[in-house]
Amino acid sequence: MKSLNEAINGDPDWFDVEVVRQRAEVEEYAPAMDFLGWMYQEGRGLNKDLCKAYNMYERTKLAGEKKIRGNTAKIYDRLTEPEQLVASIVPQEDIQRLTPDAGIEKEGEKRVKLHVMKQ
């Protein structure tokens, strides 16, 4: 909570950022992933990076969090074309990592539609 408050109220130090990053990226704690996405979006304690913010928000959704801080459709529209390509690939890799059997049935391959939702 201290690290969260430092980021919201001011400029967090490196330790506060690492606490949030640890909870988000290593422990895959959905509220921390959402907050890390916000930190990337706003440039709080980290360099502003909309592509990383978008990917964190998408990972938050994959983790089951219903309400997120950012609007992924608006962020996606602000990305450059190469960033949009990367942004569309990373969630697919996360899905494969979370469910290695996704897309494969016992009798053969199954096609899975993975695209960026605009709404």
Distance CA 73, CA 68 (A): 12
**Residues 3-40, buried b or exposed e (16+ Cβ, 10 A)?**
bbebbeeeebeeebbebbbebbeeeebbebbbbbbbbb
Distance CA 76, CA 91 (A): 13
pTM comes to 0.73
The four Cα atoms 31, 75, 39, 37 give a dihedral, to 10 degrees, of: 30
pLDDT at 10 over 50: yes
pLDDT tens sequence across 14-42: 888 999 999 998 898 999 999 999 999 99
User: What was the pLDDT predicted at 117?
Assistant: 46
pLDDT tens sequence across 55-96: 999 889 888 888 899 888 899 999 999 989 888 887 676 666
Higher pLDDT, 62 or 98: 62
| DSSP SS3 for 27 | coil
